[in-house]
């Protein structure tokens, strides 16, 4: 980017940036600090640095929250759902973006998806519980995948529709000319062009589904199938006074998502930088 | 065009898999829920009776629903404005010229999104109690009926601003630099560039972000429930929490379902209006 030198403006901008970073980091900083403090240390001061690396919180926290078992459940629920969401929503978003103007049914679908984004989950809680009980899908991880995918399709499609509209049709049309079917054209030509938005959709849903609370709390009740978030809910309820222990467990549970984001972030940035959106 | 018949079917085939998931998880339960709204079901018993429109009439006589109703509006108003201003501000900061800082700050602003609302609420409860109250010499803001809603909005914005920031950021990056150069040649200052170039071209991002923040604040549930449980004295109880309480606390599933049905209807109307308001203002490049 070319900018003229503008010293006072630059300084103000830099200060704003640093101040904003500090405001965002403080809560995390205090959480990490707290996780390394023993209980008496914490009661003396919240802000002081820990006297040493008190790792007992982590060991105890991971043991009591049965970390590796719930980690496995979270992985088995999150990743299959995200793959299904990207595949189904990209196709759906593509079709709506390209054909809705001339197809009443697709226009309706777009509106229904949009409307469904506004529905509060509580309206579905009881009916979903009843359906799952009848189908014997309660406390089943595949059943959970089904629900997570179904509730995420609408938003993911919504994101794809906007993106597909900004991709010129000419590329696809030249593929039709060469005798490619629409389905084949989509997977060979369009889907790769959707990579930036697919990365965004995947990254966002990894976070959301990993952190899902509303659905997990009603579908996954048995100890065996609890995901990390559900586990945490009960865990925080039990250890409200033991901040150190609770934060240690929380920090460990967030490592997989943060690692995953660090990895996905590159794709989001590259996708945007590649300029696939510009016509 | 080239395969008229085949193409006609293909476009439906494209949406079919997604729609099946959607129908199973949302459409069918939604329709089943409507049925429940016309009954006196308590949420536990095997049997229930149809009571016609009684549940819906009760909503208008229910004095207890008024506070949650106005609380929800307050959440929506403050949350949408603050949320979008903060996200756009963050995106513009990152889109500025400090190449090295930008990478770090984007990660920093996005990291809170990785935290579940349960965890975030727990973290901020700790902050409000042990840190912020000492810092400003106030009592715990979450215990103050006047400040509790703004205080929860702060939690929600810290937790969620990163997502809209990314959407705004990709919108900002898609604005061709030539437009800024051209407007500069025409003599526009920074403020005019912002209002005449940046904002109009960001309309697609606005239509996504405003619609989503507004509706998500209108149905605010998890953060508030974990942070205050609706307290103090109902000062932060939202309609969603009220519905939830009807189902699980007062054993009035039928009535709760009626409230949430009417409430969803309002949400959908509001959401569609806002979204079409912004979509009409989108400009094509």
Q: Two tokens at A102?
A: 């001339």
DSSP string, A106-118: HHHHHHHHHHHHT
* Residue B71: per-residue pLDDT: 92
Residue of chain B nearest A10, judged by CA positions: B97
Q: How far is A227 from chain B (nearest CA, A)?
A: 12
pLDDT confidence bin for B285, thresholds 50/70/90: low
The whole-number average pLDDT for the span A156-181 is 83
Burial class of residue B42 (count of CB atoms within 10 Å of its CB; 0-12, 13-18, 19+): middle
C-beta of residue B188 within 8 angstroms of C-beta of residue B196:
yes
Nearest to A126 among B222, B257, B272 (CB): B257
pLDDT confidence bin for B16, thresholds 50/70/90: very high
Rounded to whole angstroms, the Cα distance separating B222 from B218 reads 12
- Which of B18, B140, B271 to mutate: most A Cβ within 10 Å? B18
Which CATH superfamily is A59-273 part of?
Answer: MetI-like (1.10.3720.10)
Q: Give the domain ranges of chain A.
A: 7-56, 59-273
pLDDT confidence bin for B4, thresholds 50/70/90: low
Architecture of domain B38-280: Orthogonal Bundle (1.10)
CA angle A65/A68/A72 to nearest 5° reads 120
pLDDT above 70: percentage of residues in chain B: 96
pLDDT in tens, A141-164: 999 999 999 999 998 888 888 788
Mean pLDDT, rounded, of chain A: 82
The listed range with the strongest mean pLDDT (A186-190, B229-233, B268-272) is: A186-190
- Which of A6, A27, A70, A240 to mutate: most B Cβ within 10 Å? A27
pLDDT in tens, A112-151: 998 887 777 878 887 888 788 889 888 999 999 999 999 9
Q: Give the domain ranges of chain B.
A: 38-280
* Residue A52: per-residue pLDDT: 73
Residue B127 to residue A27, Cβ atoms within 8 A: yes
Residue of chain A nearest B176, judged by CA positions: A278
* Residue B7: per-residue pLDDT: 60
pLDDT at B279 > cutoff 80: no
Q: Which residues, in sequence order, are bridge partners of residue B50? A: B39
Mean pLDDT, rounded, of chain B: 84
Helices (H) and strands (E) in chain B, counts: 15, 0
Residues of chain A positioned with their CB less than 8 A from the CB of B3: 176, 181-182
Residue with tokens 């995390």: A28
The whole-number average pLDDT for the span B42-68 is 83
pLDDT confidence bin for B6, thresholds 50/70/90: low
Residues of chain A positioned with their CB less than 8 A from the CB of B126: 30-31, 34, 243
* Residue A271: per-residue pLDDT: 42
Residue A124 to residue B29, Cβ atoms within 8 A: yes
**Cβ neighbour number for residue B275 with a 10 Å cutoff:** 23
Residues of chain B positioned with their CB less than 8 A from the CB of A261: 110-111, 114
Q: How far is B145 from chain A (nearest CA, A)?
A: 23
Instruction: Specify the DSSP element, H or E, that contains A32.
Output: helix A7-35
Residue B118 to residue A128, Cβ atoms within 8 A: no
pLDDT confidence bin for B270, thresholds 50/70/90: confident
pLDDT at B105 > cutoff 80: yes
- Torsion sign across C-alpha atoms A157, A160, A165, A170: negative
Residue A250 to residue B119, Cβ atoms within 8 A: yes
Residue B268 to residue A115, Cβ atoms within 8 A: yes
């Amino acid at each position: 980017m070319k900018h003229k030198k503008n010293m006072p403006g630059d300084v103000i901008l830099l200060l704003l940036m640093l101040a904003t970073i500090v405001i965002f980091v403080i809560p995390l900083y205090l959480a990490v600090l707290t996780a390394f403090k023993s209980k008496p240390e914490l009661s003396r001061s919240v802000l002081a640095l820990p006297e040493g690396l008190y790792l007992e919180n982590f060991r105890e926290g991971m043991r009591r929250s049965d970390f590796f078992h719930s980690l496995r459940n979270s992985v088995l629920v999150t990743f299959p759902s995200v793959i299904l969401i990207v595949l189904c929503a990209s196709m759906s978003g593509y079709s709506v973006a390209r054909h809705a103007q001339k197809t009443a049914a697709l226009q309706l679908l777009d509106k229904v998806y949009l409307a469904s984004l506004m529905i509060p989950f509580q309206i579905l809680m009881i009916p979903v519980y009843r359906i799952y009980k009848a189908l014997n899908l309660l406390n089943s991880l595949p059943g959970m995948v089904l629900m997570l995918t179904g509730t995420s399709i609408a938003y993911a499609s919504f994101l794809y529709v906007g993106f597909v509209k900004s991709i010129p049709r000419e590329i696809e049309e030249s593929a039709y000319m060469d005798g490619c079917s629409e389905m084949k054209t989509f997977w060979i030509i369009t889907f790769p062009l959707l990579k930036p938005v697919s990365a965004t959709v995947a990254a966002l849903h990894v976070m959301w589904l990993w952190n899902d609370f509303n659905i997990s709390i009603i579908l996954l009740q048995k100890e065996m199938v609890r995901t990390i978030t559900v586990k945490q809910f009960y865990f925080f309820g039990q250890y409200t006074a033991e901040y150190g222990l609770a934060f240690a467990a929380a920090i460990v549970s967030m490592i997989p998502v943060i690692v995953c984001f660090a990895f996905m972030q590159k794709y989001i940035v590259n996708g945007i930088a590649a300029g696939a959106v510009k016509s | 065009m080239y395969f008229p018949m085949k193409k006609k079917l293909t476009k439906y085939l494209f949406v079919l898999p997604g729609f099946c998931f959607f129908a199973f998880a949302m459409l069918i339960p939604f329709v089943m829920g409507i049925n429940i709204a016309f009954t006196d079901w308590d949420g536990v018993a095997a049997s229930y009776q149809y009571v016609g429109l009684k549940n819906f009439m009760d909503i208008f006589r229910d004095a207890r629903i008024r506070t949650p109703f106005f609380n929800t509006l307050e959440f929506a108003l403050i949350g949408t404005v603050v949320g979008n201003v903060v996200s756009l501000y963050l995106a513009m900061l990152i889109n500025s010229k400090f190449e090295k800082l930008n990478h770090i700050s984007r990660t920093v602003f996005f990291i809170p999104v990785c935290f579940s609302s349960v965890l975030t609420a727990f973290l901020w409860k700790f902050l409000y109690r042990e840190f912020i109250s000492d810092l400003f010499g106030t009592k715990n803001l979450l215990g103050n009926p006047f400040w509790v809603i703004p205080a929860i909005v702060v939690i929600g914005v810290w937790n969620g601003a990163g997502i809209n920031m990314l959407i705004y950021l990709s919108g900002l990056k898609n604005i061709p630099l030539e437009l800024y150069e051209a407007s500069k040649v025409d003599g526009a200052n920074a403020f005019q560039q912002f209002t005449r170039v940046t904002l109009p071209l960001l309309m697609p991002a606005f239509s996504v972000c405003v619609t989503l923040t507004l509706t998500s604040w209108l149905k605010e549930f998890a953060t508030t429930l974990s942070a205050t449980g609706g307290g103090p004295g109902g000062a932060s109880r939202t309609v969603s929490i009220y519905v939830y309480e009807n189902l699980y606390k007062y054993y009035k599933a039928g009535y709760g379902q009626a409230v949430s049905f009417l409430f969803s209807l309002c949400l959908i109307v509001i959401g569609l209006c806002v979204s079409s308001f912004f979509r009409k203002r989108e400009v094509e490049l």
